[in-house]
Amino acid sequence: MPILDKLAVEFQDTVTLAKVNCDEQQEIAAQFQIRSLPTVMFVKDGQPVDGFAGVKTESEIRELIQKQLPAPEQALLTEGLALYQSQDYQGAITPLKQALELSTERHDARLILADCYIELKQVAQSKLLLDAIPLVAQDQNYHSVMAKVHLAEQAAETPEIMALEQKLAQSPDDHEIRIALAIQYSQAGKSEQALELLFTVLQRDINFADAKKNYLDILAALPEGEPCGPLYRRKLYSLLY
């Protein structure tokens, strides 16, 4: 009992220690088929899920308790899923990424995160996540998100973008074309390509037209945790300071 009392305090947020006097509560003892004392049972959702009779060490009991607790990433995944379902895609990113950091095998979290990035028009980031999902985990939901990626890629190849790309190829030193193409890229979810174009302009002329303002606007619009964000902030600081 001293060991159980100690562990009940240690796991007080998730475990309740209940003691049954089998002489006084014979119906409960019969229901759970108690044959010897002491007997310890783990009950979850009203049903016994594990247990042991006799004496065990503290470390053995702790291990048995931990087996029954939710995985550490589960609470984060649940939080992220709720935000995702309420269409708060930006808010869902942080808990989902944290869940993945705790368990890289949680492909369900990876898939939801990929869909969040699609909704935020971050197609490249979504593709990276989907590429990390093995064939055995590629279910119907995976194919649904992948279809969204393909549609987003097709939508990004607009006539305006293709015309500007052609113009830039013909006039590679035209900053006005480069800025116009960067804006189109940004609207199509190609934030990294947009930032790279604008950085090229800033390298040559830090005060050219609205290049710096557009650059900062794209940075500000990036989803939290977007990998290219810190990189392009450092690049800008290197020019300014």
CB 200 within 8 A of CB 167: no
pLDDT given at position 227: 77
The CATH number of 159-240 is which of 1.25.40.10, 3.20.20.70, 1.10.645.10, 3.30.450.90?
1.25.40.10
Amino acid 71: pLDDT: 81
Residue with tokens 């998730």: 14
pTM, full prediction: 0.58
Q: How, if at all, do strands 39-44 and 47-53 pair?
A: antiparallel
Q: Identify which of 175, 177, 156 has the alpha carbon closest to the alpha carbon of residue 166.
A: 177
Measure the CA–CA gap between 177 and 181, rounded to whole angstroms.
6
CATH superfamily of 74-154: Tetratricopeptide repeat domain (1.25.40.10)
Q: Which CATH architecture has domain 2-68?
A: 3-Layer(aba) Sandwich (3.40)
pLDDT one-digit tens code per residue, 46-84? 888 999 999 999 999 999 998 888 888 988 999 999 999
Out of 42-46, 48-52, 224-228, which region has the weakest mean confidence (pLDDT)? 224-228
Domain range summary for the chain, segments of one domain joined by +: 2-68, 74-154, 159-240
Residue type, 138: Q
Q: State the burial class of residue 77 (Cβ atoms within 10 Å of its Cβ: 0-12, 13-18, 19+).
A: buried
CA distances from 159 to 183, 191, 197, 215 (A): 14, 18, 19, 23
Mean pLDDT of the chain: 91
Do 2-68 and 74-154 share a fold? no
pLDDT band with cut points at 50, 70 and 90 for residue 15: very high
CA distance 237 to 94: 26
Q: Could you count the other beta carbons within 10 Å of the beta carbon of residue 46?
A: 5
pLDDT tens per residue, range 179-217 = 999 998 888 878 899 999 999 999 999 999 999 999 999
pLDDT at 157 over 90: no
CB-based contacts of 3, cutoff 8 Å, min separation 6: 57, 58, 61
pLDDT tens sequence across 115-129 = 999 998 888 889 999
